[in-house]
């Protein structure tokens, strides 16, 4: 074939490649751009096409490289966004007042349709009266959408300043990120029958914290491998603190009982207890020698007038359904 025809044939090949959007070569090159890097991909293209170094071919090749570079960057960006978010949302996307955003934003999951049949529900075994400080509760987040196939989420229990309230412990299919955020894990997004649930635990903050709000952003994806077309549903759930909370078992056990050994009286430092305390004293034979109910506040029990024998005794305190026992020596 004459030289001119060879050049013409090469140009036609490049033009056809551009017109066909690199249907035969672009996809492998774009994929290589992720694993090999764009520069390595360009070298591969040189090797396969074996372009000549004349000016006209250089100009055409420049167009090819520009298109390839742009496509590779777009592919790489989308690839990283989709695959990183499928492994969990980055912290700070619950839609809480402090976060100020969800994943429904440009570069993440913007452009999705409005909410229609998507629902987000948070349930727990927290009593109706409210949580008790320091107590650990089981919680379940459930997302439902007819025909849904893949869901994700992020939640956090926060105050308006963005400080975490309590402690969250992840369960199967979820993970903690940042300061007090819970999100799905890579293996925790598949949906069965249009419903997906995640179980986790929450340890309530210290007593006196007050009402806690849990902020949730649910992501109902269309599973098309891109960041477009997904529905983000922000929700919030309030958890009240129980009022007039009785003393916990741990707090009851921590009450100071003194002196020990006992000579004339037994003192119990219970001024912070807001419930009645039943106190029972047993001797070594298990015989009940003292039983008395006391109103909230410090307690003093007179043992000198009881004519008790010297020896080991067991003092049991009961309040709010909790019980603890102390061993005492009475002289």
Is the fold of 119-239 the same as that of 249-330? yes
Which of these CATH numbers, 2.40.37.10, 3.10.150.10, 1.20.59.20, 2.60.40.4060, describes 119-239? 2.60.40.4060
Nearest CA to 220 among 145, 154, 155, 156? 145
Bridge pairing between strands 167-169 and 288-294: unpaired
pLDDT exceeds cutoff 60 at 271: yes
Q: What average pLDDT does the segment 101-111 reach?
A: 78
**How many beta carbons lie within 10 A of that of residue 197, not counting itself?**
16
For the chain, domain boundaries: 3-85, 119-239, 249-330
Quick one: pLDDT at residue 184? Answer: 95
- What are the φ and ψ backbone dihedral angles of 244, each rounded to 5 degrees? 60, 45
Measured at the CA of 215, the angle between CA 210 and CA 216, to 5 degrees, comes to 150
pLDDT exceeds cutoff 60 at 178: yes
d(CA 277, CA 317): 6
pLDDT tens digits, one per residue of 61-81: 556 556 555 555 444 444 444
The two structure tokens encoding residue 129? 């009266």
pLDDT tens digits, one per residue of 248-261: 788 888 999 999 99
- What are the φ and ψ backbone dihedral angles of 318, each rounded to 5 degrees? -130, 130
pLDDT tens digits, one per residue of 187-205: 999 999 999 999 999 999 9
The model carries a pTM of 0.54
pLDDT tens digits, one per residue of 22-54: 333 334 433 433 344 444 444 444 444 454 445
Q: Please, which residues have CB within 8 angstroms of residue 68's CB and are 6 or more apart in sequence? A: 22, 26, 29, 30, 38, 41, 42, 45
Q: Which CATH class is domain 249-330?
A: mainly beta
């Amino acid at each position: 074939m004459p030289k001119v025809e060879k050049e013409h044939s090469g140009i036609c090949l490049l033009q056809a490649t551009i017109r066909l959007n690199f249907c035969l070569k672009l996809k492998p090159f774009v994929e290589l751009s992720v694993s090999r890097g764009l520069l390595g991909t360009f070298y591969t293209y040189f090797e396969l096409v074996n372009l000549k170094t004349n000016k006209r071919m250089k100009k055409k090749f420049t167009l090819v490289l520009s298109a390839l570079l742009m496509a590779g960057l777009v592919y790489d960006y989308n690839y990283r966004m989709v695959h990183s978010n499928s492994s969990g949302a980055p912290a700070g996307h619950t839609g809480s007042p402090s976060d100020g955003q969800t994943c429904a934003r440009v570069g993440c999951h913007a452009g999705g349709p409005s909410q229609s049949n998507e629902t987000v529900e948070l349930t727990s075994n927290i009593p109706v009266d409210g949580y008790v400080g320091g107590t650990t509760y089981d919680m379940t987040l459930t997302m439902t959408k007819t025909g849904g196939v893949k869901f994700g989420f992020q939640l956090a229990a926060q105050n308006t300043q963005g400080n975490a309230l309590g402690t969250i412990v992840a369960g199967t299919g979820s993970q903690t990120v940042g300061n007090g955020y819970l999100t799905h894990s890579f293996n925790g997004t598949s949906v069965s029958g249009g419903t997906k649930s995640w179980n986790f635990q929450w340890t309530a903050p210290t007593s006196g914290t007050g009402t806690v709000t849990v902020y949730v952003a649910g992501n109902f994806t269309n599973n098309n491998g891109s960041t477009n077309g997904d529905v983000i549903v922000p929700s919030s759930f309030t958890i009240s603190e129980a009022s007039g909370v009785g003393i916990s078992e741990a707090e009851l056990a921590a009450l100071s009982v003194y002196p020990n050994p006992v000579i004339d009286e037994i003192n119990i430092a219970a001024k912070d207890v807001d419930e009645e305390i039943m106190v029972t004293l047993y001797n070594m034979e298990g015989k009940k020698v003292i039983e008395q109910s006391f109103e909230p506040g410090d307690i003093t029990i007179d043992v000198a007038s009881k004519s008790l024998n010297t020896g080991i005794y067991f003092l049991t305190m009961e309040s709010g359904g909790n019980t603890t026992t102390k061993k005492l020596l009475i002289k």
